[in-house]
Structure 1
Amino acid sequence: MVEVDYSLYLVTGRDLLPPGKSLKGGVTLVQIREKHADTGEFLEIARQSQAICKKYSVPILINDRIDIALAIKADGVHLGQSDMPISIARSLLPPGSIIGKTCNTPEHIRKAIEEGADYVGLGPVWGTKTKDVKHPLLGPRGIARLLAGLEGTDVKSVAIAGIKSTNVLHCLHGSVSSGGRCLDGVAVVSDIVASLDPLSAAKKLATIIGAFKSSSTQSIFSLGAGGYTVDGVKNAAASILTSVRKYSPLVHQITNNVVMNQSANVTIALGASPIMAASPEEQEDLSKVTGGLLINFGTIESLEGMMAAGKNANITRKPVVFDPVGVGATRYRRSSANDLLNAWQPTVIKGNAAELGALANSQEVQAKGVDSLGSGFANPAKFVRDLARAERCIIVLTGVTDWISDGETVIKLSNGNPLLGRITGSGCIVGTSVATFCAGASLTAAEARSTNAHEDARLVRGDMLLAAVAGVLAITIASEYAALNARGSGTFLPALIDELGSLTEEKLVASANVEIVSC
């Protein structure tokens, strides 16, 4: 069989013939899907489509209809769960024909492998107007779980439903199994064919897909170069503090109303500027001018705004910090978190043991409202590493000891003071600080790219692992200094804000208790 490139798989139909320009733009495979056409109509559409595909040397598949595939000598067929079994299709088609199968569940995957499918179509990822979606939406996280069933096989995979240029990177990046199995491509319909400029639409998609496939993000979870040292981590964190004060980034925060005031004051004390805006109508414009985004859903007052903010931050490539406050407390919080994480890709997820345990479906730690019960995880280093791999982002586990991982490196931080646990929203202001430092690192990277400055490689790449470390250290180190002069929790919070304002690189490096651990 000829090697097939599944990268950009165009699915088309009666009124959506694949324009030659879209194939010229980078489409690598075409499927003709006609659920309601008469045989004669389907045959004519298939012939016209094949003529265009041959011109650009793009393989053509027929959905369901073996007779049409045989009549035009198509390269293969795509079969649904209710269509002809693969074994019978294989016996009717010429040797070497491509046969794909739609799969919505792990059982579908298992059966498709047994039957000898060449590839599987996984979905639906998101909702779509081009097809009646009968199965639950999976999102990238659901696709990742299905991909686990393909580990150790040569069966290829494409995701389908609702994929377009604005979310294709999230789909590719988020749809990776715990064992590192990635998608081989994505199936697209309306984003190309319904476009007024199909050539540009196809080129845009092909460029994003190509960049993902050529990058290290498929196999390396770290956003930096790895090989960290304790001194290197401390110095880099201190440098990001300087970047925050140099750029004074605008940090957009959709947060709970309990902590808005102290979160704003913490942002200002660190040297950045806060803006709190939750209306969905504002998110597109805000994403263009802010340095980073924090979404803290402690009181979940504008889920629609959170949805829009994260999507637009992804589009403008701004770091997104997600703080799923009390996520394990109710079914609504769990379902809301799932919806948000499938709608956009977080850069960092920060939470306490109960919150992160709920996201990971772990039973090790129980929740009491927004607090954690019990002694914590038996192996926190392994937990944060594994969750970072599953969620494809940086994980910050807060507590008496803080644990941070990008899926490869695990960093243990041992700063802080017990008074942090005696003020409202101490965890929330850690999220604020992490978002602020991520914004500072991101702006450093943007300037480095524009000036070709020869700075530290990790900062040039906007290393979010180091930014997360810096954000946690800023709060915990400042708390130690604040506790020296505080008479109790009532005087501790203003003292903490004062100490954040006077925090220096030297203080941070001298006070930071950092350990790089293995698990």
Structure 2
Amino acid sequence: MSTSALPPRLAPYDWTLYFVTDTAQCASVGRTVAETVAEAVAGGAGIVQVRDKDASDAEVEALTREVLTAVERGAAERASARVPVFVDDRLDVVRRLREEGLDVHIHVGQTDEPIAEVRRVLGPEPLVGLSARTPEQFAAAAALHDEDTGAGLVDLLGIGPAYDTTTKAGAPAGFGPDGIAALASAAVQMGLPAVGIGGITAERAPELASAPLLGICVVSAICRAEDPRAAAAAIRAAYLGAAPG
């Protein structure tokens, strides 16, 4: 999906490389999440999502504050446009941060807070992403609209796993490039832009380049990288079919 075709709410951002954090994976190679985020953004990540299923709300809130600072540092070094920060699942955390005027957004799964409740608490301004993996789930998301304005309640979908992944316990088998392309096409036909996630590496990224995705989400290939800046640059370049740099 070209930038010109993006919905106005998504158009200001670069969705090509969407980095999702994993605290344990970053720690396993001797880095904090914030250190990894700063390097990933400097290397080309245009979106960051804070995800830590094992942390308390207070810990996720503190981590998100660190990530917001790290994003600014990485974006300034790359002289890039605004890099939005999503928080996975924690509705109360996002509410508190937004009440302070911080620009954070939310991503939820099928078993997290219902989208209608998310919008009731946060209002129309923040971006809302939703994990989904079937056309039925896409249709249910596309049917959610604000009763007063008619605006859709979901801004984008995260679909996957693209490939087999060990990042999430109990994750189903990967759909593969053709499966992700078919799902992304179905989502777009319902008016919902999508990003692909799950097991994506620099070697696999070109296989997804022809799918009608906003971009690709990466976890392990950046969190566990010896050099997350170089890893982000390489994945982004591979996906775009360009030389890193």
- Normalised by the length of structure 1, the TM-score is 0.38
1:172, CA displacement in angstroms? 2.5
For residues 10 and 136 of structure 2, what CA distance do their matches in structure 1 show?
A: 28
Higher-Rg member (1/2): 1
2:110 corresponds to 1:81: yes
2:176 maps to 1:139: yes
- Residues in 2 aligned to 1:151 and 1:202: alpha-carbon distance in whole angstroms: 26
1: CA distance between counterparts of 2:53 and 2:205? 26
1:208 corresponds in structure 2 to 238
- The aligned counterpart of 1:98 is 127
Secondary structure (helix, strand or coil) at the match of 1:19 reads helix
Q: Which residue of 1 aligns with 2:50?
A: 32
**What is the deviation of 1:103?**
0.8
Give the C-alpha shift of residue 155 in structure 1: 2.0
Residue 440 of structure 1 corresponds to none
Instruction: Tell me the matched-pair count.
Output: 205
Q: Does 1:8 align with 2:17?
A: yes
Where do residues 439-518 of structure 1 align in structure 2 (5 Å cutoff)?
A: none
Q: Relative contact order, CA 8 A, sep 6+: which one is greater?
A: 2
Cα shift at 1:80: 0.4
Listed as ranges, the gaps of 5+ residues in structure 2 are: 1-8, 27-32, 76-81, 145-152
- Counterpart contact for 2:19–2:40, Cα < 8 Å: no
**Counterpart Cα distance in 2 of 1:28 and 1:117:** 20
Tell me the equivalent position of 2:216.
186
Alignment of 1:47-62 (within 5 A): 47-55=65-73, 56=75, 57-62=82-87
Q: CA deviation at 1:136?
A: 3.6
Unaligned runs of 5+ in 1: 177-181, 213-519
**Counterpart code for 1:29:** I
Give the secondary structure class of the aligned counterpart of 1:126: coil
CA displacement, residues 472-495 of structure 1 (integer Å, 9 cap, x when unaligned): xxxxxxxxxxxxxxxxxxxxxxxx
Once the two structures are TM-superposed, the CA of residue 59 in structure 1 deviates from its matched residue by: 0.6
Q: Distance in 1 between matches of 2:84 and 2:67?
A: 11
**C-alpha spacing 1:152/1:127, structure 2 compared with 1 (3 Å):** closer
Paired AA for residue 217 in structure 2: A
Q: Within 5 Å, give how 1:70-469 maps onto structure 2.
A: 70-73=95-98, 74-115=103-144, 116-173=153-210, 176=211, 182-211=212-241
* Matched residue type, 2:94: A
Q: Which residue of 1 aligns with 2:29?
A: none
Runs ≥4 residues deviating over 4 A: none
Kept after mapping to 2: 8 A contact 1:109/1:146: no
The answer to whether residue 94 in structure 2 is matched with residue 69 in structure 1 is yes
How many Å apart are 1:127 and its aligned residue?
Answer: 1.4
Q: Deviations 1:94-125 (Å, cap 9, x if unpaired)?
A: 43211011111111111121123111011111
Contact in 2 for aligned 1:105/1:146 (Cα 8 Å): yes
Q: CA RMSD in A?
A: 1.8
**Corresponding residue for 2:3?**
none
Greater fraction helix: 1
CA contact (8 A) 1:14 1:45 kept: no
CA offsets per residue over residues 245-265 of structure 1, 9 Å max, x none? xxxxxxxxxxxxxxxxxxxxx
Offset of residue 29 of structure 1: 0.3
Aligned to 2:62: 44
Task: Say whether the 8 Å CA contact 2:139–2:190 is kept in structure 1.
Answer: no
**Alpha carbons of 1:124 and 1:133: their partners in 2 closer, same or farther (altered >3 Å)?**
farther
TM superposition shift of 1:2: 5.7
Return the alpha-carbon distance in structure 2 between the equivalents of residues 208 and 96 of structure 1.
Answer: 33
Contact 1:103 1:120 in 2 (8 A): yes
Q: Contact conserved, 2:138 with 2:187, CA < 8 A, in 1? A: yes
CA gap 1:167/1:95 in 2 versus in 1, 3 angstroms: same
Q: Aligned to 1:146, what secondary structure does the other structure show?
A: helix
Q: Deviations over 1:379-434 (max 9, x none)?
A: xxxxxxxxxxxxxxxxxxxxxxxxxxxxxxxxxxxxxxxxxxxxxxxxxxxxxxxx
Q: Mean Cα displacement is larger for which, 113-122 or 68-77? A: 68-77
CA drift of 1:39 comes to 2.0
Matched position secondary structure for 1:76: strand
Percent of aligned positions that are identical: 29
Distance change (3 Å), C-alpha of 1:19 and 1:134: closer
Contact 2:209–2:240 at 8 Å: present in 1 too?
A: no
